[in-house]
Amino acid sequence: MSTFKTKDGTAIFYKDWGKGRPVVFSHGWPLSADAWDAQMLFLVQHGYRVIAHDRRGHGRSDQPGTGNDMDTYADDLAALVEHLDLRNATFVGHSTGGGEVAHYLGRHGTKRAAQAVLIGAVPPVMLKSDKNPGGLPIGVFDEIRANVAANRSQFYQDLAVPFYGYNRPNAKKSQGVIDAFWAQGMWGSHLGQYLCVKEFSEVDYTEDLKKIDVPTLVLHGDDDQIVPIDDSGKLTAQIVKNATLKIYPGGAHGMCTVEADKVNADLLEFLKQAS
């Protein structure tokens, strides 16, 4: 397996396929780099170099008791980029990975970036507050933590259903997709995944979004049951200076899997716009 060590000694697993201009993927919670397989297989066949890592505490990366916070996640991504000396890259983040991409660009700058793509992403901030009245109440995230603590195996089986929109009328449910979601979740650290809930729910990425100065594509489903579009994708597209919002009618949170062909085509079209 390909791994590198961060400055605190954490081993981060990553995939690195192909040659050409790099596309760097950051996955959602509680998944791993494997969540991007459909996009990576497609883009490597179209001449791009595709890289995806397992966030610390997730997948095949180490499971440290420290550093399970968005600052460190962003620093780990920066370390990967520097380890591989990536330049003129497109950074693609889904869900929590969208927060990671935004925070990486806000914290480390865009000197190595040509573009950004945020898919069903958590920014600007998910938690309801006086400044964010359209957000979700803290009780929603407390319940997630309680379920992760009590029986994450069953919780991940159950969560996969609305994640992919399989609870909607006429949805074509795939047990294989549900099993893959469960398996990716169970590979990760119980502690790391529990602590990550705070990072995708309470961290405010507004200032990071303001610092993004590269062309940005925002893809979001209008039936996203995990990260509702009105308080995420639509607001992000207003904050990022050079953003294009594309809404998927009836789209679920797991659109990269259940609408992979459509997502792949949109990514390829956007990638071709970069020099």
* Residue found by looking up tokens 């609870």 in the block: 167
Going by pLDDT thresholds of 50, 70 and 90, the confidence category of residue 54 is: very high
- Domain of 218 in residue numbering reads as 2-273
| CATH code of the domain covering residue 18 | 3.40.50.1820
* Active-site residue flag, 62: no
* Active-site residue flag, 58: no
Distance CA 227, CA 49 (A): 29
* Active-site residue flag, 95: yes
Q: Find the mean pLDDT for residues 121-130.
A: 98
pLDDT number for residue 1: 78
Q: What is the pLDDT of residues 81-91, one digit of tens each?
A: 999 999 999 99
Distance CA 104, CA 186 (A): 26
| Mean pLDDT across the chain | 98
Q: What is the pLDDT of residues 200-221, one digit of tens each?
A: 999 999 999 999 999 999 999 9
Q: Find the mean pLDDT for residues 65-80.
A: 98
Selected catalytic residue, list 54, 62, 75, 224: 224
Crossing angle for the helix pair 138-163 and 175-187, to the nearest 10 degrees? 130
Q: Where are the beta strands (DSSP E) in the chain?
A: 3-5, 11-17, 22-26, 49-53, 89-94, 113-119, 216-221, 243-248
Selected catalytic residue, list 95, 189, 201, 232: 95
What total of structural domains would you count in the chain?
1
Q: Does residue 115 contact residue 271 with C-beta atoms inside 8 Å?
A: yes
Q: What is the pLDDT of residues 10-38, one digit of tens each?
A: 999 999 999 999 999 999 999 999 999 99
Q: Does residue 74 contact residue 39 with C-beta atoms inside 8 Å?
A: no
